[in-house]
Chain A
Amino acid sequence: MSVKPAARLRRKDLVGIDPLSPGEIQLILDTADQMRAIAARPIKKVPALRGKTVVNFFMEASTRTRFSFEVAEKRLSADSLSFSAAASSVSKGETLVDTALNLEAMQPDFIVIRHVHAGAPHQLARILKSSVINAGDGAHEHPTQALLDALTIRLHRGTLEGQVVAIVGDLQHSRVVRSNVLLLARMGATVRVAAPPSLIPLGMEKLGCEVHRRIEDAIAGADVVMMLRIQLERQGRMNFPTVREYYDFFALTPERLKLAKKDCLVMHPGPMNRGVEIDSRVADGPQSVILEQVTNGVAVRMAVLYLLAGGHGEPTAD
């Protein structure tokens, strides 16, 4: 382990991977490693966040991430409440800031937010006293997803440094790829991305990754292949001719996986489109760690909540 963990996470919010130092990322991953053990205990609950209130404010559909945060909050004994846009006053025309200020008036300690617009968590972090955790904002960042992916890789490989990670799929609309490239590059991994040219955003290489137009070039010799979901609901704009053609040129199939290292890990942030970006034989195969990612997601979210609860002021003397 080459990166020394930071002594503490002296932050109020987790709005993205971008502001984090390698030491802070290491601290979150080390803490998450310990949190994993709690799920194996006879009583899967610790009192660390007793008396803290967490609002899960999901303005965009999510099951995995929201449940994962809820489980993490319950395992730490926090009181949590969740609501979605459809069931709130947002549907009556209230602005994001007004909704957030009203939530804060009930004095929660954390607000976990998912929003369709990039930057919404940053805006709330600036105006709210509560800790804000970004659970995905537009096509911008999804920091806890990148952290759980990193934890999964580290558990199998021992380190992130020197790993070759290929990320293939809809780079244009994916917040997962941004957070992952930032994190992995910062921790010393080599990141290659691949997509059809119509799904590669301008300036992608500036995030610190190699950009490829053929999946074969990206996954050759890779330690990890991470497939991204083709967001079928966003494909009205004809980014590629047909789903069938996408499968033929960009899906991870057993034949293509042979190009990667023999023990290459197969990852997917979910939800998967079987037969579109990933073949079922790979998704359910021996190299797949897709369900482990979900398990590790709970541990990572517990770690983030625990570390942010430490506060952001000056440390008191012990």
Chain B
Amino acid sequence: MTRVQVLDARGVARALERMAAELIEHAGDETLLYLVGVQTRGVPLARRLARLIGVKTGHEPPVGALDIALYRDDVGPWRPAHQQPVLRDTELPVGVDDKVVCLVDDVLYTGRTVRAALDTLMDYGRPRAIRLAVLVDRGHRELPIAADFVGRAVPTSRSEDVQVHVQECDGEEGVWIAKEVAG
């Protein structure tokens, strides 16, 4: 296994800083913003973005957590034998109705997680709009889904593994591309 770092802690901080600025600019009325992190690593990233937005505008948007396990498309009849994903908390401290919800995730890959997150969110109400912010866009979409705010676009091959580690979950911070070495 070889591991190449593409962002260090400072790189992650800078990317989030820029995404926060873009979110504010794009939002128009930042009091409508609501950041919802996709479990697991989207949640701490959403919290950090909210804090940055709070510092810049004086209004820190609410933060929620979304677990998409029950909405995934890789369980059920298409994959007859697999491990059911562990269920995690969904916490939406305020309602999503009429909010501009920004989904936050660490990596955008096939787009299937985002599809599941959109369906999950729709069951909680009717947001005014839903946006998507990801720290890393690694390409290889399988669904017509695009991110509105991207920290870093990283070209990858499918055989590679993108690892986003955040202090809150992993005790280290950064983005790596890992590749299985043959032999």
Chain A: residues with CB nearer than 8 A to chain B?
7-9, 30-31, 34-35, 37-38, 41-43, 45-52, 76, 306-307, 309-316, 318
Question: Given A35-B87, A37-B90, A42-B125, A316 and B76 touching (CB < 8 A)?
Answer: no
Which DSSP category, helix, strand, loop or mixed, fits chain A's interface? loop
Q: Is the CB of B70 within 8 A of A46?
A: yes
Q: Is the CB of B89 within 8 A of A311?
A: no
Q: Is B2 an interface residue (CB 8 A)?
A: no
Looking at B48-56, B77-85, B99-107, the stretch in contact with chain A turns out to be: B77-85
Chain A residue with minimal CB distance to B71? A47
Q: Is the CB of B81 within 8 A of A309?
A: no
Q: Is the CB of A307 within 8 A of B70?
A: no
Contact residues in B for A38 (Cβ distance below 8 Å) = 70
Q: Is B119 an interface residue (CB 8 A)?
A: yes
Q: Is the CB of B123 within 8 A of A315?
A: no
Q: Is B24 an interface residue (CB 8 A)?
A: no
12 contacts across the A-B interface (CB closer than 8 A): A30-B86, A34-B67, A41-B123, A41-B124, A49-B76, A76-B70, A306-B70, A310-B84, A312-B81, A315-B82, A316-B79, A318-B83
Other than the known A41-B123, A311-B80, what 6 A-B pairs have Cβ atoms closer than 8 Å?
A47-B119, A48-B70, A48-B75, A307-B84, A309-B84, A313-B81
Q: Is the CB of A34 within 8 A of B87?
A: yes
Question: Given A42-B123, A46-B70, A31 and B87 touching (CB < 8 A)?
Answer: yes
Q: Is the CB of B123 within 8 A of A43?
A: yes
Q: Is B88 an interface residue (CB 8 A)?
A: yes
Q: How far is the CB of A197 from chain B (nearest CB, A)?
A: 45
Q: How far is the CB of B17 from chain A (nearest CB, A)?
A: 32
Chain A residue with minimal CB distance to B88? A34
Q: How far is the CB of A40 from chain B (nearest CB, A)?
A: 10
Q: Is the CB of A47 within 8 A of B70?
A: yes
Option from A43, A50, A51, A310 in Cβ contact (under 8 Å) with B83: A310
Q: Is the CB of B75 within 8 A of A46?
A: no
Q: How far is the CB of A77 from chain B (nearest CB, A)?
A: 9
Q: How far is the CB of B138 from chain A (nearest CB, A)?
A: 16
In the complex, A7→B67 CA distance in Å? 18
In the complex, A9→B83 CA distance in Å? 8
Contact residues in B for A35 (Cβ distance below 8 Å) = 87
Contact residues in A for B90 (Cβ distance below 8 Å) = 37
Q: How far is the CB of B96 from chain A (nearest CB, A)?
A: 10
In the complex, A306→B85 CA distance in Å? 10
Chain A residue with minimal CB distance to B125? A42
Q: How far is the CB of A114 from chain B (nearest CB, A)?
A: 25
Contact residues in B for A45 (Cβ distance below 8 Å) = 123
In the complex, A309→B80 CA distance in Å? 8
Contact residues in A for B76 (Cβ distance below 8 Å) = 48-52, 309
Option from A43, A51, A316 in Cβ contact (under 8 Å) with B77: A51
Residue interface mask B113-125, A partner, CB < 8 A = 1: 0000001000111
Contact residues in A for B83 (Cβ distance below 8 Å) = 7-8, 310, 315, 318
In the complex, chain B residues 30-54 whose Cβ is within 8 Å of any chain A Cβ:
none
Q: How far is the CB of B178 from chain A (nearest CB, A)?
A: 15
Q: How far is the CB of A303 from chain B (nearest CB, A)?
A: 8
Q: How far is the CB of A54 from chain B (nearest CB, A)?
A: 14
Ranked 8 nearest A-B pairs via Cβ: A313-B81, A310-B84, A34-B87, A311-B81, A46-B70, A48-B70, A43-B123, A8-B83
In the complex, A48→B119 CA distance in Å? 12
Q: Is the CB of A306 within 8 A of B84?
A: yes
Contact residues in A for B79 (Cβ distance below 8 Å) = 316
In the complex, A308→B18 CA distance in Å? 44
In the complex, A50→B90 CA distance in Å? 20
Contact residues in A for B69 (Cβ distance below 8 Å) = 48
Q: How far is the CB of A107 from chain B (nearest CB, A)?
A: 11
Q: Is the CB of B81 within 8 A of A42?
A: no
Contact residues in A for B89 (Cβ distance below 8 Å) = 34, 37
Chain A residue with minimal CB distance to B67? A34
Q: Is the CB of B87 within 8 A of A316?
A: no
Q: Is the CB of B87 within 8 A of A309?
A: no
In the complex, A175→B89 CA distance in Å? 33
Q: How far is the CB of B158 from chain A (nearest CB, A)?
A: 13
Q: How far is the CB of A236 from chain B (nearest CB, A)?
A: 46
